[in-house]
Amino acid sequence: MNSLLNTLGATVVGSMILLMVFGALMNMQTLNYNMQQQVILSGIAENLLSGRTIAGVSYSGLDSYLSKVGAGVSASTDPIIEAYSSNFKFRGKLSPYSGISIIQIISKNPVNGIYPLYVYVDDMVNPVSGPFWLADPLNINYYDVNNSEIYSPNSNHNAIRSCKFTFNFTFETLRPDIDKRLVRYPTVVWKYFKNLYL
């Protein structure tokens, strides 16, 4: 009888151990997966911001486009077309040999609670980049020559000299109930429009 009780007890406790081990392994797997996603998301976001080269073809990043604000635009033309918190549209030459392009960086209405970010160059229907998914809408703050924030930027194009872009890139988590940190890549970049200082 004693050995039977021992066997039953060992079976119950052993099962609990196995359950604990498998549960812990699942949790670690999820943590690792989310970390991997975090690294991938960071890489994608940084490629979008600073550009990348795929198979010998270079793709411009937002940093490159934003450095062209007002490039080659005559003094009689407004280099900025639209300046809102989630939409920035401007004119500039992408190269010394090209005509003046129109470039737009915009986050649109949410799809299933997340916001698509697009970059358009000249063709305002087919984006050159996007969608990239944001947990919050793109937030752009505009500053004047004294680094003071402009609160009605679309009515004060002439005053704009720099911008602060706040992104919150996102991926779906594998198991949000396990790893409470959602896969996000929040980042802030600044851009001073040097052509507008000249």
Partner 1 sequence: MLLVLLALALFSTLMLNMYNLVLDDAKIVYNGIIYTQGQKIADRYFQQIEAELLGSNPIKTFSEAYTAFSNFSSSEAINNTTYNINISSTYCDSLGNISYPDSSYMRIDVRINCISPAGDTLYIGTQNSPFSKVLFDIGI
Q: Which is nearer to partner 1, 175 or 194 (CB)?
A: 194
Helix/strand/coil for 46: helix
Q: State the Cα–Cα distance between residues 117 and 54, nearest whole angstrom.
A: 21
Q: 131 preceded by cis ω (within 30°)?
A: yes
d(CA 102, CA 17): 63
Count residues contacting partner 1 (CB under 8 A)?
36
The residue written with tokens 């960071």 in the block is 42
Where are the alpha helices (H) located in 51-107, listed in sequence order? 62-66
Residue 122 Cβ vs partner 1, minimum distance, rounded to whole Å: 26
Is residue 145 at the binding interface for partner 1, with CB under 8 A as the rule?
yes
Closest CB to partner 1 among residues 111, 188: 188
Tell me, what amino acid is at 69?
A: V
User: What x-and-dash track marks residues 43-62 binding partner 1 by CB under 8 A?
Assistant: ---x----------------
| Window of 78-86, 123-131, 133-141, 178-186 that interacts with partner 1 by CB under 8 A | 178-186
- Cβ-contact 167, 133 below 8 angstroms: no
Write the DSSP string, 5-25: HHHHHHHHHHHHHHHHHHHHH
Single out the segment in contact with partner 1 by CB under 8 A; choices: 52-60, 111-119, 130-138, 189-197: 189-197
Contact call for residue 189 and partner 1 (CB under 8 A): yes
Binding site for partner 1 (CB under 8 A): 6, 9-10, 13-14, 16-17, 20-21, 24, 27-28, 31-32, 35, 38-39, 42, 46, 145, 147, 161-162, 181, 185-194, 197-198
